[in-house]
Structure formats: structure tokens, C-alpha cells
Amino acid sequence: MLGALVLWVGASGCSRRVPEGTPAEQAVEDAPTVYVARRIRTLDAAKPEAQALAVRDGKVLAVGTREEVLAVAGATARVVELGDATVVPGLTDSHGHLAGLSQALASVRLEGTTSLEEVRQRLEKAPSTAHQGDWLVGQGWDQNDWATPRFPTLFDMGEHLKDTPVALWRIDGHALWLNGAALKRANITRDTKDPEGGTIVRLPEGDPSGVLIDNAMDLALKVLPPPTREQHEAHLRAALEHCARVGLTGVHDAGMDLRTFRLLQAWDKAGTLPLRVYAMADGQTDDRVQYLKDGPFQGKLLTMRAVKLLLDGALGSRGAALGAAYSDEPGHRGLLLLSPEEYAARVHAFVGRGFQVATHAIGDRANTLVLDTVLRELAATGTKDARPRVEHAQIMTAEDISRLGANGFVASVQPTHATSDMPWAQKRVGPDRIQGAYAWQKLKAAGAVLALGSDFPVERPDVLAGLYAARTRQDASGQPPGGWQPDQRLSGEEALEAFTAGAAYASFAEGQRGRLKPGMDADFVALSVDPVDAPPADLLTGQVRLTVVAGREVFRADAK
């Protein structure tokens, strides 16, 4: 069987435990584990490559040649032969949404649909897990992939669903498509006003079309039944297992709701949380009140030290806040989801409670506002080593790229966003502004630390796909030749560094993880492909063979 999950085992990482009993048996139980592979990329400048590493009590005990490591580990060490695998430090997705992934895995999956007819076909085959109460939920549609790239309407879902409320998230999570039953349940009519920071898309005669953008989504979400406790727990476990399966040892969760955080706290306390989770408090909703009251949290594998704020929408739905109008929609500059005054107030409150500020900013107007506001707050309070994060940093002016790098900001960017958006991004912003878009090398040159992620479930959490996109700026078929804006590609080592050491720095953990050296956390992944030297195309077919977190094997692909 391929892909055995070995979740939540003992601290030694063994998939087979020795029964407790005699001192000799206990000594074997507590003995180090030695992993031997064709190559171990440590990202430690003093010893960049090795062939073996020893793990004990969740830490790296030794790194070096097989003989060197076995000499340190001792005769009772358990030896795991990984063959021709390449071992790398623990891979972390620096921007994902575990609750969103849990819902996406259970709902109607609409990614990759090429027409409204295909959407309807998938809705007809909806799994039983795709219901919340009597509502049908789905995720992943993108009108840019359809033959006629227009927003859908309430009339496009099919007659068989006319009596069932249906809510379908756009792939970026910044637009929600409803049918007539859902609009009625939410009491959204032609007389409903657009909320601040949101848009109710309307038909020519003024009636709601069925698509809600950004803050307007709240009109429907407040009447959408939440998942039951059983659904929430089962779906969240499935999301964590999926992350382990694709080679992630950690996730930075970009805006965690309080319900999910409380569940992860319980799992972390019980020792059943399989991955490291660096949670950013949801600073957008009313949950922020409790987060401010509680302050930062540090558990075993669960940390909350940051807050996530959303300043604008997404480029694909034209919600990103631009300084000048969209090139393909004259007069429209996108949406600010928080007023400048409210954003400043929330930054002030969370900085005062010791939180790192991470802000979703896609458009150049939003990015400028983040830099202006956060720099002003940090200067006024004298806060040092704050490591503020810009989540996405997608469309930026040259001046703001320089300011971001010069002032200690972390650029949390997603390589697969660039390769997903490249067919239409320039249409949105034109040939001049696109020069500051998805500009990874420019950000690095300015001094910014890059932390790479996927923004799952907007993109797949498969980290090998992220490494491929970072190195090539091409889609899976190798287009465009040479890559889109190829001067902004990352080298294999730069990409690996940003998924490991960069992620660790972004979460104040560079002293504990991100590299493989004695004394650091034993978080690592064994891959069938070398992410640095292998031809990039090999990453698309590469496999995760082993995922280890704090010395525990949380996923192992066993061929039997």
C-alpha cells in the first residue's frame, strides 16, 4: 500500500514501539533513530550536505556521514534506510488556511472546471459531505478558466437545485456565488445596499446576480449553517493528514477562527496534533476581541503570535485595491476591506498585545497603506524586531518594494499564484504595473526575507508544485517557454530556503528549525527528487516518502 499514515506515534518517531518493561527494553525504546539517505541537504553553511542524521527526543542529535552519525548514536540506535531519497529540512507552507482546506476537501470541488456545464455536472454528483445543514457548499470556481470568462449568475446552477440553498466560493475565497434559494434565505434583494468594502454584483435591471464580493459575502455567511462539531473535527483531521502527505511539517495558518484554534489547542495539549501550526489570529471578525483578551499562546506544536488582517480583495475578482483604475475596468480601483482608520486601530491594538502583524495586501494601494501604517505604529511604540508580514505582496510599486525590504518586513508570497494568474494578470494592471508584480527577486534584492506558501485551498498545498513554480514560473505543461517574467525566478536553493529557513524566520523560530543541525528540531522530509539539482519538471512527478515532525514519523509512503 502506498501512502501509509503513521500519525501521532511516540516521541521517538518509531512506527513500532517496544513494550515497556525491563530497563534494557526501555533503553531500546529511548534509543536514537538514524536516517540514512543518498543526500541530506541541511541548509547549514558549516555542513551543507550529509548522508545520515540521528534523532533523539525530538531533536537532531548528529549530522554527517553514516559512520560519524552511528558512532554518536550508539549500538542501540534504530536505523532507517531511505535509499536514494533526498532529505531536506521541514517544509512549511507560510500561508494556508486549514479550516478552508478542511471544507474544500469535503465540499464540491470546482477547481479546473472549464465551463458552467461542467460546474453543473459536479454539483449533480455532490458528495454527502458537501452539505452544511440543508445548504450545499462548493469551492474553487474561476471564471477566467471558462470559455466565456464572465461572472456566473443565480440562473447558471441548474434547475434541479432551485429549492436547495447553494453557496460556492470562488477559488480565491473573495467571491461567493449563490443561487436563488440562498439569496432568499439571506434576504438579499435589489434593495439591499452594498456593505462597506463589498459589492453585490447586479443584473442589468438591478436585481442581485448571485455573486457577492469580499465584505458582501458576510450577508450570506451569517445565515449559512456552520459545520457540526463532528464535521469540523473530521474535516480538520483530514486536512492535517493531507498536509503531512504532501510533505509539510508545518503550516502558518493565515487567519484562524476561534473555534478551530480551540480545537487545535485541545489536540496539542493531548499530543495528537501531527504538524506544527503557527496560527495567526483572525483579526477581521469579532473573534479578535477574545484573541486580544487572551494574548499570544505557545503550546507544544501550536503557536499563536501573529494576527492576520485583510486590507483588500483579490486580483481575479477585481477586489485588489489599486492606486489607479484597473486596466480592464476603467473607473474601478478595487476595494479596501478596512478603512485606513480602522486598519490603523487594529494594528495598534494587536501590536500593543505583542502580536506580529500580518496583512493581506494584493493591490499597490493596499501595500502602500500597509507600509505607511505599520511603520508609523512601530516608530511610535518603539517596537523592535517586529517582523511585520505582508501576505501576498502581489502588486507593488518600486518604491514600496524598496521600503518593504529596508524596514524588516517579511514578504509572504505564493509561487503558484504567479503561475495561476499569469494568463490574465497583465490585463488587470497593464504593462507598467506588472513590472512590480510577483517580483520575488526584486523583493530579495531589497532585503526582504521570503517565506513561501500556497494559500491553500486557493492553490493546492502540494509543496513540490510550489517549488516547481518558484523555480520555473511556468505552468505544468512548461508554458510559457523560459518562464513568465523569468528574471524573477528563484534558484532551487533559494526556493528551498524560503520554504524552510525563511518560514522559520517569519515565525521567530530560526533558532529552532529551518535547518538540520545538532540541537535543532527534528523536522524533515524525505523526497524522491532533489528539489535543488533535479530538473524542475521532475518535481511535478516527485513523491514524498517520509514526513517527520519533532522526531515523529507523521507520514510514510510504504510500497508493499
Range 196-205, long-range pairs (CB < 8 A, 24+ positions): 196/339, 197/335, 197/336, 197/337, 197/338, 198/335, 198/337, 199/319, 199/335, 201/151, 203/153
Q: 368 pLDDT band (50/70/90 cuts)?
A: very high
b/e map of 355-379 (b: 16 or more CB within 10 Å)? bbbbbbbbbbbbbbbbbebbbebbe
Cell 533558532 appears where? 511
Cell 458576510 appears where? 218
Cell 530556503 appears where? 497
pLDDT at 102: 93
- What DSSP character marks residue 112? T
Give Cα separations from 237 to 7, 131, 202, 242 (angstroms).
10, 18, 39, 9
Residue 443: all three cell numbers together: 523583493
Strands (DSSP E) found in 215-325: 248-256, 276-282, 297-298, 302-310
d(CA 408, CA 443): 12
Residue pair 377/350 in contact (Cβ under 8 Å)? The answer is no
Average pLDDT of 26-49? Answer: 88
What integer best gives the mean pLDDT of the chain? 93
pLDDT at 455: 96
Q: 24 pLDDT band (50/70/90 cuts)?
A: very low
pLDDT at 240: 98
- pTM, two decimals, is 0.87
pLDDT at 158: 76
Instruction: Please state whether the peptide bond connecting residue 480 to the residue before it is cis, i.e. omega within 30 degrees of 0.
Output: yes
pLDDT at 30: 75
Q: 29 pLDDT band (50/70/90 cuts)?
A: low
Q: Tens digit of pLDDT for each residue in 396-409?
A: 999 999 999 999 99
Cell 494584493 appears where? 362
Q: Tens digit of pLDDT for each residue in 231-281?
A: 999 999 999 999 999 999 999 999 999 999 999 999 999 999 999 999 999
How many CB atoms within 10 Å of residue 517? 18
Q: 435 pLDDT band (50/70/90 cuts)?
A: very high
Average pLDDT of 340-346? Answer: 98
In the predicted model, is pLDDT for residue 499 greater than 70? yes
Q: 173 pLDDT band (50/70/90 cuts)?
A: confident
Q: If you compute the radius of gyration of the chain from its CA atoms, what whole number of angstroms results? A: 24
